Structure 1
Amino acid sequence: MIRTPLRPLARILEARQKGENPDAIERENKRIRHEQMRDASRQRAEGRLLVLGVFFFCAFTVVGARMGVMATTDPTEPRAAAPGSVISATRADIVDRNGNLLATNFETHALYAQPHHMIDPQGAVKKLMAVFPDLNEERLLRDFTGKRKFLWIKKKISPEQMQAVHDIGEPGLLFAPRDMRLYPNGSLAAHIMGGASYGREGVHAAEVIGVAGAEKYFDDYLRDPANGNKPLELSIDMTVQAASERILYGGMKLMNAKGATSVLMDVHTGEVISAVSLPSFDPNDRPHAAVTGDASDSPLFNRSVQGVYELGSVFKIFTAAQAIDLGIATADTVIDTSGPMKVGGFRIGEFHGKNYGKQTVTGIIVHSSNRGTGRLALEIGAERQQEFLKNLGFFEPTPFEIVEASGGKPLLPQRWQELSTVTVSYGHGLSSSPMHLAAGYSAIANGGHKVTPTLRKQSGPVVGPRVMSERAAADARAMLRAVVTEGTASFAEVPGYQIGGKTGTADKPGPRGGYLEDTVIATFASMFPAHDPKYVLIVTLDEPVETSGDKPRRTAGWTAVPVAAEMVRRVAPLLGLRPTVEPDSLADITLSSSN
């Protein structure tokens, strides 16, 4: 910085020559210097104020933008800043349609070890084995005496086990707080619930995630902190589910079946009131998936949606309903069911080689005639048959809200020719799940509207697109009632509850093609009350054998039908359906006069 002298010599000399006072020069220079210093200070202050203003503007802009982002985005689970620590929001409960608890959270602890902090690793191993006999002693000792600094011992322990470990007094044994998923009803509705496990874990917390069933399908909803106090409400009725499971289990054992499933559906809403698959499991202790053998032998296999089977004669009612809907026939149209009948070089026969002769369409359904149904299907044609079944939902997996349902895609004929048209008409050549069948029968029961199966409780009737005329649906219901009163499902008659339904017995396909001998899938598809159906019930038994008679009997009329009848007898009152009391004939009364 160059400083200008207040009394410059040149100006002093010049002023003295002119006779001026030199002090005036110093005063003038001081004034100029002070003004320059003042201007510099003002500019410096203004600059500082400008910088400070810009800083505050940026700060408020950042805070405002962050507040806007937080206000417009969905809430997420808070995460701890410490590495390895995860804090998860409470998982929402699951309840049935009446508010009964199906799944909730339970506070517990996990057990972990820090071997480098242990005083007596060998002694700790022996004492831990007394508390947890299922642990591997050799591996535990190797981990405790090796170089590991951290290992999990048990992911879930009871309060009693926690106290026992605490009494060991080993500083290297520590506890981690946990929220575990609890199913207070045990195995009830196990395939619907599915189960839960742990995702990311830390010593302070762990997130609970769904691994199957509704727990996985609705995982985002259940994990959302905003839904912590709003339980997921399902369409399942816990009391009906419990009764269905008990009856189906008894029926499966009585009929010597290897597995069984049932679906109870509201025909006006598509709500699944109960869905049972046996054998079952306890979601509190979910078993590991089998890696070898037949998947259907695993208790994790959900037969109601994953079990894709040829269901047999239960499909015949769809052929009859479509023929009536198209005007090809009426319930009283006579069809010649006599043989022989060949399609595509293959002979179409009847059960046990029977010949039903000329039958009405109702008679074809009552007697379960393959040839009669096949001849109706040929009149309908392959293209219209495919369109009808597609509209009913038999070409795609059901949108039922459990993850396993997406894997239950129907198996269709590769080339839908005349032979496929005939065989599909009586339930062979097309494989579908019992859930598909329940939705198809619900369309007949509700007057002809498509039904979409759902696990969510509905507030009222859901009217789907029309798939058949009301007249066709009414005639089909009358035929199904006749099957019970006159045909193969006579054991389905339950006093006070009129039932309509159709039996189906299909040979099981072999692993290398063809069909297995004396190995069947027996199904009874029913609706009740028959005069004004409210519910559809599907009961399917895998490889049943009824042995009370001289010869073993495997058909649905002897196996699936009695189980379904007992189920209706037990669950109808639970559903609020009052039995219809039919008055008996009056006893003979003799009038006499007394005088």
Structure 2
Amino acid sequence: MIRTPLRPLARILRARERGENPDEIEAENRQRRHDVIQDRARRRAEGRLVLMASCFVLAFGTVGVRMGALASSQPSEPRAQVLSAQIISQRSDITDRHGRVLATNLLTHSIYAHPHQMVDPIRAAKGLAKIFPDMDEARLIKDFTGSRKFMWIKRKISPEQMQAVHDIGEPGLLFGPREMRVYPNGHIASHILGGSGFGNEGVNSAEVLGVAGVEKAFDGWLRDPANEGAPLALSIDLTVQSAMEEVLQSGMKVMSAKGAAGVLMEVSTGEIVAMASLPDFDPNDRPRPQLTGDPSDSPLFNRVVQGQYELGSTFKIFPVAQALDLKLINPNTGINGSSPMKIGKYLIHDFHNYGKQLSVTDIIVKSSNVGTVRIAQLLGVERQKDFLQKLGLFQPTPVEMVEAPTGQPLVPSRWPAVTAATVSFGHGLAASPLHLAAAYATLANDGRRVQPTLIHGRARPAGEQVLSPRAAEMAISMLRQVVTRGTAKQAEVEGYEIAGKTGTADKPRPSGGYYKDKVVATFASMFPASDPKYVLIVTLDEPSISNGRGESRTAGMTAVPVAAEMVRRLGPLLGIEPRTDVKLPMIGARFQPRVEPGSDDGIKLVANQ
């Protein structure tokens, strides 16, 4: 652009010639220049205003169009996205067979600290130590005044504790929301549920993982969003479970036992209605695993599933039932019961010499070791092993718990004649009470194999027919007579027709041999005998009770009264009406054992010098 001079020489000279003021020429040119500049600035401002107006029109036009589109469309919510986020952050509930909650989730908070943001770290440490007595004040002061930028204080706290921490007023103490697993029934069914803990953790969320029991066995299922939060329904009945634990706890105390186990199973389905192991624990405050000593001393040890016990004379019905099935004997067959019986260098004793003519039924009723061994000899080792294997006594139970594989029965590697003999009356082969329950359920189920389960209502294929219904019926009749006139008279509960077998087995020493004053007492039973619906197993570890004749440890004096009390308590809860047409005397008061002649079903095995 060519600028016009303010004082052009030609015009200045002409103005002087005409006597005009040359300064007016400069003022006129200056005004023109200012007018041009103003016009240019005005045009630039107008352009900017037009651009801004266009942008506003475009923006508001877009919003208007979008609002119009939304107003004319059908309303809908993004359900898949909302539910997916919700399910992932939760863990499905666990319920009993009637839908009562056994495990659920609770919204809580965690506390974490940013020490570098604290105004008064020493005051904060002292305040936390008062709220949480288990925390070390000196340690907190050291951490808060050190170089740490982040630290966890508590993984989960109650609302009262949260308010108390909030009242400290320290900006460096922060809260994070999370869900925790809650077991509203405390100790009840603790070994079944197992417990849970936190996995991956963030300040605003935490992953809840199962650590034992069904919580661990079904961890993936409980966390799977595809289940849409559906609860896991277990086969147990909360009311029956509670009653069993109460009776078992009382029985364990009265019988001065170290531990106790009980399991109640439906015969037709294999569903476990109640299963208890004592001592137990509270899964809301699960104790630490015991790393030394006897595992069974830990409350985490599940005696029903993990316990490996020689279950004594409860095994005697197995070779008898098998021999009945093979038609090698009948209930009235006479067997030589003369005691002692020699096998190699060993002598097998009965506590009474029953003579040369003892019927098969009386072998079970009187719990004769010698008679049972002679029947086992009729079977032979291979047939005996094959039958026990079909009953599931050589493999871990398939119950849905992570502890199940650890309950591998202790099966002899060699089966010489003396091993086959001792196994026939429950020594030399160690299995769990749950193994025994499944085997007795097979007898009660007309000889068809029953597998235990903790899941309610699941369709299961029919088990293998391991015994004829006729042989199973005869075996149950013998077990019924054990209660009416044998070693388990105190198990008679009027109207419930209990059939069962006692077993008292010496406990093996870790270094070899057996203790002389420690036993495992077991009563394996089913009821009602005329149409078995349930199998009940009660096992006491190292029981002992004093009576008029001294101290007794036999199952007939210890486990049997406890089982009888269970049937009295559980029968009505299970909806079983007592058979009023059955008139049988009630023998023995509750938890008041009475010595019966010939009621000791223990064994004695000594080397023949």
TM-score category of the 2 structures, normalised to the smaller one: 0.7 to 0.9
Q: 2:339, 2:353 within 8 Å by CA — same for their partners in 1?
A: no
Q: Per-residue deviation at 1:459?
A: 5.6
CA distance in 1, matches of 2:555, 2:249: 16
Q: Which amino acid counterpart does residue 359 of structure 1 have in structure 2?
A: L
Q: Deviations over 1:412-458 (max 9, x none)?
A: 11211111111000000000000000000001111000000000012
Distance in 2 (alpha carbons) for counterparts of 1:513 and 1:357: 34
SS in 2 for 1:552: strand
Greater shift after overlay, 381-390 or 226-235? 226-235
1:405 equivalent in alignment to 2:404: yes
Task: Name the % identity.
Answer: 60
Structure 2 match to 1:296: 296
CA root-mean-square deviation: 1.7
Q: What are the Cα deviations for residues 327-371 of structure 1, in whole angstroms up to 9, with x where unaligned?
A: 111111110110342113211111x35445421110000000001
Distance in 2 separating the partners of 1:193 and 1:584: 41
Provide the rounded CA distance (Å) in 1 between the counterparts of 2:254 and 2:446.
36
What does residue 105 of structure 2 align with? 105
Indicate conservation of the 8 Å contact 2:393/2:435, yes or no. yes
Contact 1:308/1:410 (CA < 8 Å) preserved in 2?
A: yes
2:272 — aligned with what?
A: 272
Structure 2 gaps, min length 5: 1-81, 585-609
In structure 2, the residue matched to 1:253 is: 253
Aligned partners of 1:90 and 1:228 also within 8 Å: no
How many angstroms does 1:463 deviate by? Answer: 2.8
- Which residue number in structure 2 is paired with residue 539 of structure 1? 538
Q: SS at the partner of 2:216?
A: helix
Q: Which residue of 2 aligns with 1:337?
A: 337
Question: d(CA) in 2 for partners of 1:200 and 1:356?
Answer: 69
Q: How many residues align?
A: 503
Q: How does 1:295-374 map to 2 (within 5 A)?
A: 295-350=295-350, 352=351, 354-374=353-373
**Structure-2 separation of matches of 1:550 and 1:386:** 40
Residue 276 of structure 1 deviates from its aligned partner by 0.3
Partner of 1:212: 212
Give 1:581's aligned residue: 580
Q: Using a 3 Å threshold, how does the CA distance of structure 1 residues 299 and 293 change in structure 2: closer, same or farther?
A: same
Where in structure 1 do 4 or more consecutive aligned residues deviate above 3 Å? 75-79, 352-357, 459-462
Aligned AA for 2:319? T
Please say if residues 92 and 230 of structure 2, whose CA atoms lie closer than 8 Å, have aligned partners that are also in contact. Answer: yes
| Post-superposition offset of 1:584 | 7.2
Deviations 1:268-306 (A, max 9, x none): 100000000000000000000111111101000000000
For residues 193-234 of structure 1, the C-alpha deviation after alignment (integer angstroms, 9 at most, x for no partner) is: 000000000001011000000000000100011224310000
CA spacing shift, 1:511–1:378, aligned 2, 3 Å: same
Deviates more, 1:265-274 or 1:331-340: 331-340
Q: 2:79 maps to which residue?
A: none
- Which secondary structure does the structure 2 equivalent of 1:403 belong to? coil
Q: Distance in 1 between matches of 2:380 and 2:136?
A: 65
| Secondary structure at 2:546 match in 1 | coil
Q: Answer yes or no: is 1:508 the counterpart of 2:507.
A: yes
CA distance in 1, matches of 2:435, 2:264: 12
Report Cα offsets for 1:366-410 as digits up to 9, x if no partner. Answer: 000001000111110111111101001001000001111110000
- CA distance in structure 2 between the partners assigned to 1:283 and 1:264 by the alignment: 22
Structure 1: gaps of 5 or more residues: 1-74, 80-86, 586-595
- TM-score normalised over the length of structure 1: 0.83
Which position in structure 2 is the counterpart of 1:147? Answer: 147
Partner residue in 2 for 1:452: 451
Residues 178 and 430 of structure 1, relative CA distance in 2, 3 Å threshold: same
Q: Is the Cα–Cα contact under 8 Å of residues 235 and 272 in structure 2 kept in the other structure?
A: yes
Letter paired with 1:275:
M
Q: Which residue of 2 aligns with 1:115?
A: 115
Structure-2 separation of matches of 1:213 and 1:316: 32
Any conservation in 2 of the 1:366–1:486 contact (CA below 8 Å)? yes
Say which one has the larger Rg: 2
Q: Please list, as runs of the form range in 1=range in 2, the aligned pairs for 1:138-287 lying within 5 A after superposition.
A: 138-287=138-287
Deviation readout 1:538-579 (Å, 9 max, x if unpaired)? 000000001243401000000000000000011011111001
Does the alignment pair 1:128 with 2:128? yes
Cα offset, 1:254, TM superposition: 0.4
Relative to structure 1, the CA distance from residue 534 to residue 164 in structure 2 (aligned partners, 3 Å threshold; closer, same or farther) is same
1:148 to partner: Cα distance? 1.0
Q: Distance in 2 between matches of 1:147 and 1:426?
A: 68
| Counterpart residue identity of residue 234, structure 1 | L
- The answer to whether the 8 Å contact 1:311/1:427 transfers is yes
| Counterparts of 1:243 and 1:78, CA distance in 2 | 40
For 2:237 and 2:513, the matched residues in 1 are separated by 40
Who is 1:417 aligned against? 416
Q: Deviation digits for residues 101-130 of structure 1, max 9, x if unmatched?
A: 100000001111111111111111111111
Report the Cα distance in structure 1 between the residues aligned to 2:582 and 2:326, rounded to whole angstroms.
Answer: 40
TM-score, normalised by the number of residues in structure 2: 0.81
Q: Residue type of the partner of 1:239?
A: T
Residue type of the alignment partner of 1:130:
K
What SS class does the counterpart of residue 110 from structure 1 fall into?
strand
Query: Residue 95 of structure 1 aligns to which amino acid in structure 2?
Result: T
Is residue 526–residue 537 contact of structure 1 (8 Å, CA) maintained in 2?
yes
The alpha-carbon distance between structure 1 residues 583 and 477, as it changes in their structure 2 partners (threshold 3 A), is closer
